[in-house]
Amino acid sequence: MPKVMLINVTHSEESRVGIMSEGVLESFEIESLSRAHLKGNIYKGIVHRIHPALEAAFVDIGAERDAFLPLDEICFKNLDEEPKSNGRANGGPGGKRQLRIRDVLRPGQQILVQITKEQFANKPPTISTFYSLPGRHLVLLPGSDDTGISRRIEGEERDRLRKAVDELKREEGFGLIVRTVAGLEENGDDLTRDLDYLKRLWANVQSAAKSQQAPSLVYREHDIVQRAIRDFYTPDISEIYIDDEDVFQRARDFLRAIIPGSESVLRLYRGEQPLFSAFHVEEQIESVFGRRVPLRSGGSIVIDGTEALTAIDVNSGGAVRGANPEETAFRTNREAAGEVARQLRLRDIGGIIVVDFIDMRDPQHIREIEQLMRDEMRLDKARHETSRISSLGLMQISRQRLRPAAAASSHVTCP
């Protein structure tokens, strides 16, 4: 089966997007009305209170809770009012003292902020004045003059993109990052079109900020359908199925605007079975919410989350046990490595993850599992780092959370 994207929007309470590769669910996102996606939204807020001990401010953005703004997330170029001190945020030469949060902000001050981390558990949303507006191929950074290319792009492709970015007509005060999205045209027209779109978008944000009263929402990030097409559609996806005609038309217009000529991949699904059932996705989604995930060999992985970290235990379970326990452990760990990486993406687990692999004695086997884990994690769009396997068989992974965890988006803890 080719790689396909499935967009299920027939339920009024929630929308779901899944990407299938060879019949296996590789990516899954859910957005419900009760937990709207807030990351990327831009608000005109009011500084509610200053917390000197945390070197942070709490900003009223019109939500139930004030948002958290640390000092190192404040871009001075994007402030309407200059800091009171001549110091520097990170210290500086000539005896200049380090800037404090009280030098930069004051209660009652109006400020334009963007949500960078969603509210999670008892933690408020984190906001920043380092704005970023993602397009199909570029991320626009208002208030910055820096340019960068994603670390995932390497070799000749990186050199080609660096040259293409240098040739773009950019205004001062707009930084750029080239994203890792395949299908970029050789002549750079995609970059030019993306940059023009993002500059128009930023102009609209500034216009709205001037006309609205604080606290208020100034810019809302795209909905789950448009985000999925913008961020996850690649040339190897042969078809995009959508089960609602209005959303299908909106997706076609959006695709025509950002990737002209690609509208032919869209399919309006009219089957009798629900879309996710027809592609056998529902049973795979169940594993996202279960504690134990079975492996084809008969083993399993068990995922337990705590306040500090997520622990993943690899069990051989009913795996066929041969005469060589080392080989059994190696085969089970190989299968588990791919499933662990997949579950981290599907569940969007962030923070520290500790994987307890089955003990192996052969150093070659240990190195192969380490390399396999790194290879599997390369499919992940989130920033991450993986460690070596320790003498106790433990591997540590740190991973950026991209959105609220899947369980948090559709489950409510009983009081």
Residue 22's contacts (CB-CB under 8 Å, 6 or more residues apart) are 1, 3
Quick: pLDDT tens for 190-204.
788 888 889 999 999
pLDDT band at residue 236 using 50, 70 and 90 as cut-offs: confident
What percent of the chain stands above pLDDT 90?
A: 49
Nearest Cα neighbor of 340 from 281, 299, 308 is 299
CA 164 – CA 167 distance, rounded (Å): 5
HEC-encoded secondary structure of 237-268: EEEEEECCHHHHHHHHHHHHHHCCCCHHHEEE
CA 131 – CA 126 distance, rounded (Å): 13
Angle between the N-to-C axes of helices 245-258 and 189-211, in degrees from 0 to 180, rounded to the nearest 10: 110
Contact 221, 115 (CB under 8 A): no
Segments making up each domain of the chain, as ranges: 1-37+222-289, 41-80+101-128, 290-399
Q: Please state, as a whole number, how many other Cβ atoms lie within 10 Å of the Cβ of residue 246.
A: 9
CATH number of 1-37+222-289: 3.30.420
Contact 390, 355 (CB under 8 A): no
Say yes or no: do domains 1-37+222-289 and 41-80+101-128 share a fold: no
Quick: pLDDT tens for 170-223.
778 888 888 866 555 555 677 888 888 899 999 999 999 999 998 999 999 888
What is the torsion angle, in degrees rounded to the nearest 10, for the CA atoms of residue 38, residue 42, residue 45 and residue 47? 80
pLDDT for the residue 269: 95
Q: What is the pTM of this model?
A: 0.76
CATH number of 41-80+101-128: 2.40.50.140
- Phi/psi region, residue 33 (left: phi>0; alpha: psi -120 to 50; beta: rest), is alpha
Q: Are strands 174-178 and 147-149 parallel, antiparallel or unpaired?
A: parallel
